């Protein structure tokens, strides 16, 4: 009798059989809780990502799961983590290189379900239409991989990545960065103006927060990369940025506190040398939300932090543009929407005048924010972590294997595990092992002999550690 009534009820639901089945599955998934699982979330950059990873973990714990949040770059790769926890599910950062791909492959061999969480908004249809085939290949992934779930920000990116025909779902969940700025608990945890002012020796007057965007100019010693054209442009940008700070200090230093912060992993010495002379403090450890909450005005160069300033009701101004067409940025369209969130200045004089006239509250361009939400960033409603947790919770895995030694040598073009002729030693900043690289002189001779055109030569210069696949190393 019950079966007959149930069939009658289902037959009355509008839609195709597959649509009806989908609706019923969604209802069942929401009503019936998942069996408790052991889940590890690996943070790509704890200073930037841990707040969001903690929000996802909080949602998953509320569903009855055991959850650990660990650093990915070093701690996350340690064997004891998996021998001790033996997770059902591991959430990894975006898979962008051979090592992260092999890492996911090994997790799958263990029987672990793998989800990849994109930490940034990667692409939208506007950019996709203007980038070349090489750039499209980089977006789609140079190293094929097979996981269980890929979490991206916007619908555009999900549609673009689905072109790969991957055998796993790619789901848009919205802007993860918006979550931390809209979360009351995170705001309360990072607020405290009196303590903040004491930390930096500030008076009670307003504070101007200046973001230094030139991330590749001075990578930390254990996260070093080769000098490239992008590095040289960052060096030029850093000089202009420091000149602006000095001029700003001369004009406003007596009426405002000034605080400068640098990108995570960047050496502080080149900044301190100039800022110490001006008695301007440099923040190297505080998160962006803590700095924003306890400051009054933001100066950036086309940063996503401008959106955070909007959510927190802080005026923001842009000086310079890391997203300009010739800046090798992650945006390709001529008019990057991220660099239209705040009013832009190229001269310090206009910037000073704007700061003097600024008022409390957001001054962000709302049309641009709407454009970002419809395109690259996806929903900015503070619920991305909730949507992500629901999808992660549905994955199933069972740890059943041990970690073997890898037989791979990851980079066979410019880096080798053993020495030979025309090579130089390097030290990996992640696994701390030594290896050798082909010298520029030897490579130039080879390129000339092969009659290789200049535009193709750079493809062979970005080496990785042959032991662990990391690209962060220091020549010795």
pLDDT band at 358 (very low <50, low <70, confident <90, very high): very high
Name the DSSP letter for residue 338. G
Q: Does 446 score more than 50 pLDDT?
A: yes
Beta bridge partners of 319: 345
With respect to residue 399, please indicate whether it lies within any of the assigned structural domains.
no
Tell me the pLDDT tens digit for each residue of 254-286. Answer: 999 999 998 766 677 888 889 999 999 999 888
Contact in structure between 469 and 99 (CB atoms under 8 Å):
yes
Alpha helices per DSSP H over 95-228: 98-110, 125-128, 133-140, 155-161, 176-182, 184-190, 193-200
Tell me, yes or no, whether 155 and 39 share the same domain: yes
Total number of domains in the chain: 3
pLDDT on residue 451: 80
Q: Record the pTM.
A: 0.75
Tell me, yes or no, whether 54 and 166 share the same domain: yes
pLDDT on residue 223: 41
With respect to residue 326, please indicate whether it lies within any of the assigned structural domains.
yes
Tell me, yes or no, whether 127 and 57 share the same domain: yes
What sign does the CA torsion over 368, 370, 374, 376 have? positive
With respect to residue 3, please indicate whether it lies within any of the assigned structural domains.
no
Length of the chain: 476
Q: Does 458 score more than 80 pLDDT?
A: no
pLDDT on residue 284: 85
pLDDT band at 250 (very low <50, low <70, confident <90, very high): very high
Among 345, 374, 403, give the residue marking a domain's end: 374
How many helices (H) and strands (E) would you count in the chain?
A: 20, 16
With respect to residue 180, please indicate whether it lies within any of the assigned structural domains.
no
Q: Does 408 score more than 70 pLDDT?
A: no
Tell me the pLDDT tens digit for each residue of 145-202. Answer: 999 999 999 999 999 999 988 899 999 999 999 999 999 999 999 999 999 999 999 9
Give the lowest-confidence range in 80-89, 206-215, 222-231: 222-231
Query: Which of 301 and 459 is assigned the larger pLDDT?
Result: 301
CA-closest candidate to residue 95, choices 68, 112, 72, 128: 72
Pairing of strands 434-438, 423-428: antiparallel
Tell me, yes or no, whether 158 and 307 share the same domain: no
Pairing of strands 473-475, 423-428: antiparallel
Tell me, yes or no, whether 387 and 348 share the same domain: no
Tokens of 243: 């000149």
| Residue 452 structural domain | 415-475
Tell me, yes or no, whether 137 and 199 share the same domain: no
pLDDT band at 48 (very low <50, low <70, confident <90, very high): confident
Q: How far apart are CA 128 and CA 144, in angstroms?
A: 20
pLDDT band at 241 (very low <50, low <70, confident <90, very high): confident
Tell me, yes or no, whether 229 and 319 share the same domain: yes
pLDDT on residue 82: 63
Query: What CA–CA distances, in Å, run from 422 to 307, 338, 434, 462?
Result: 49, 45, 16, 17
Tell me, yes or no, whether 60 and 115 share the same domain: yes
pLDDT on residue 261: 93
């Amino acid at each position: 009798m019950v079966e007959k009534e149930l069939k009658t009820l289902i037959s009355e639901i509008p839609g195709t059989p597959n649509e009806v089945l989908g609706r019923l599955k969604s209802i069942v998934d929401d009503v019936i809780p998942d069996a408790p699982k052991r889940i590890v979330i690996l943070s790509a950059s704890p200073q930037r990502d841990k707040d969001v990873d903690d929000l996802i973990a909080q949602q998953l714990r509320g569903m009855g799961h055991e959850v650990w949040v660990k650093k990915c770059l070093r701690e996350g790769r340690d064997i004891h983590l998996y021998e001790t926890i033996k997770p059902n599910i591991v959430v990894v950062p975006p898979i962008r290189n051979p090592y992260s791909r092999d890492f996911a492959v090994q997790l799958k061999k263990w029987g672990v379900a793998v989800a990849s969480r994109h930490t940034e908004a990667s692409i939208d249809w506007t950019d996709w239409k203007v980038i070349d085939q090489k750039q499209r290949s980089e977006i789609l992934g140079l190293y094929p991989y097979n996981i269980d779930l890929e979490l991206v920000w916007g619908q555009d990116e999900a549609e673009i990545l689905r072109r790969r025909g991957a055998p796993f779902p790619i789901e848009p969940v919205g802007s993860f960065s918006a979550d931390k700025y809209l979360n009351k608990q995170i705001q309360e945890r990072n607020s405290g103006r009196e303590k903040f002012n004491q930390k930096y020796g500030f008076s009670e007057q307003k504070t101007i927060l200046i973001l230094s965007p030139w991330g590749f100019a001075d990578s930390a010693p254990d996260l070093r990369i080769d000098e490239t054209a992008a590095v040289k442009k960052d060096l030029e940008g850093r000089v202009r940025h420091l000149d602006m700070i000095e001029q700003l200090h001369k004009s406003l230093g007596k009426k405002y506190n000034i605080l400068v912060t640098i990108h995570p992993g960047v050496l502080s010495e080149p900044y301190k040398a100039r800022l110490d002379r001006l008695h301007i403090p440099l923040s190297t450890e505080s998160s962006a939300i803590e700095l924003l909450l306890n400051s009054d005005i933001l100066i950036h160069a086309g940063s996503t932090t401008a959106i955070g300033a909007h959510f927190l009701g802080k005026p923001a101004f842009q000086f310079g543009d890391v997203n300009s067409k010739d800046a090798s940025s992650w945006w390709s369209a001529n008019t990057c929407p991220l660099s239209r969130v705040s009013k832009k200045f190229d001269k310090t004089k206009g910037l000073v005048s704007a700061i003097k006239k600024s008022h409390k509250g957001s001054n962000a361009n709302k049309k641009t924010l709407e454009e970002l939400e419809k395109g690259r960033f996806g929903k900015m409603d503070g619920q991305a972590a909730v949507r992500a947790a629901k999808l992660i919770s549905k994955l199933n895995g069972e740890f059943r294997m041990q970690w073997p030694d890898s037989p791979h040598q990851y980079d066979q073009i410019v880096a080798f595990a053993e020495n030979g002729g025309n090579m130089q030693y390097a030290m990996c900043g992640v696994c701390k092992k030594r290896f050798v690289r082909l010298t520029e002189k030897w490579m130039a001779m080879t390129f000339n002999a092969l009659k290789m055109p200049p535009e193709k030569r750079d493809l062979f210069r970005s080496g990785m550690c042959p032991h662990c696949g990391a690209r962060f190393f220091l020549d010795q």
